[in-house]
């Protein structure tokens, strides 16, 4: 009986230890044991939740973001923002994934069209922000275009304009088309179909 107890301790102690390792969302998981938890200890993700709309005439881009707690991703757990969108161009709806927002996938990061949790400081070279406060935190996530299948980086800054809460956003670094010279059908891959560049979205 004593031997069984010792075997139990030797087998399960590393498992319990790995599951008890909690790091801040801004800390790298490099070198951490499998099963660690990258937690939003300072609630940096919370303020980004909500519904935001960019509109220009009869073209609009609507996103809905929400925070998810302790989601499994690549052998560990993370708090993250997930989201979905609706895109209307010249009065015609080109994409609408909003109905997927409350679906719980086995891999939330890969399945939702907006997902991520990378915190950007005001001096980040990814998106310079001379007008940001020195300790201001912004957010970088992944945006997946369900029309073309291409991905882009989606950077967000919370601020206010004339008392109205807004997101200043930057959509860039769009993934390249996969071209096979032996397959002529890949020469006409669809372009990224969602808005790109820098623009402002108003919180609803």
Radius of gyration of the chain, Cα coordinates, nearest whole angstrom: 21
**C-alpha distances out from residue 75 to 38, 98, 107, 126, Å:** 12, 28, 11, 27
Residue 4 φ then ψ, to 5°: -65, -40
Of the candidates 110, 100, 63, 53, the residue with the CA atom closest to the CA atom of residue 85: 63
- Tokens representing 1 are 């009986």
Residue 48 φ then ψ, to 5°: -85, -10
Q: What is the pLDDT of residues 17-53, one digit of tens each?
A: 445 899 999 999 988 999 999 999 999 999 999 999 9
* Measured distance CA(192)–CA(13) in Å, rounded: 48
The helix/strand/coil state of 171 is strand
Helices (H) and strands (E) in the chain, counts: 2, 11
Residue 5 φ then ψ, to 5°: -65, -40
* Contact predicate 172/153, CB 8 Å: yes
Q: What is the pLDDT of residues 58-67, one digit of tens each?
A: 999 999 999 9
- Tokens representing 167 are 């997101």
Handedness of CA 129, 131, 134, 138 (dihedral sign): negative
Residue 91 φ then ψ, to 5°: 85, -5
Q: Note down pLDDT in tens along the chain; length 204 residues.
A: 555 544 444 445 454 444 589 999 999 998 899 999 999 999 999 999 999 999 999 999 999 999 999 999 988 999 999 999 999 999 999 999 999 999 999 999 999 999 999 999 888 888 999 999 999 999 999 999 999 999 999 999 999 999 999 999 999 999 976 555 566 665 667 899 999 999 999 999
- Tokens representing 3 are 């031997």
- The number of CA neighbours under 13 Å toward the Cβ of 121 is 6
Strand 76-89 and strand 92-96: the pairing is antiparallel
């Amino acid at each position: 009986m004593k031997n069984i107890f010792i075997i139990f301790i030797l087998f399960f102690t590393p498992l319990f230890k790995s599951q008890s390792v909690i790091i801040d969302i801004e800390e790298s998981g490099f070198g951490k044991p499998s099963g660690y938890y990258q937690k939003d200890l300072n609630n940096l993700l919370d303020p980004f939740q909500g519904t935001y709309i960019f509109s220009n005439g009869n073209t609009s881009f609507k996103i809905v973001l929400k925070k998810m707690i302790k989601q499994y991703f690549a052998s560990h757990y993370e708090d993250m923002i997930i989201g979905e969108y609706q895109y209307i161009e010249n009065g015609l709806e080109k994409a609408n994934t909003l109905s997927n927002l409350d679906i719980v996938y086995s891999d939330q990061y890969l399945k939702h069209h907006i997902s991520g949790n990378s915190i950007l400081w005001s001096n980040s070279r990814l998106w310079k922000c001379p007008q940001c406060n020195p300790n201001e935190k912004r957010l970088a996530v992944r945006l997946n275009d369900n029309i073309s299948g291409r991905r882009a980086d989606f950077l967000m800054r919370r601020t206010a304009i004339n008392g109205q809460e807004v997101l200043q956003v930057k959509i860039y670094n769009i993934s390249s088309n996969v071209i096979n010279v032996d397959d002529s059908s890949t020469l006409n891959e669809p372009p990224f179909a969602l808005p790109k560049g820098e623009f402002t979205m108003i919180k609803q």
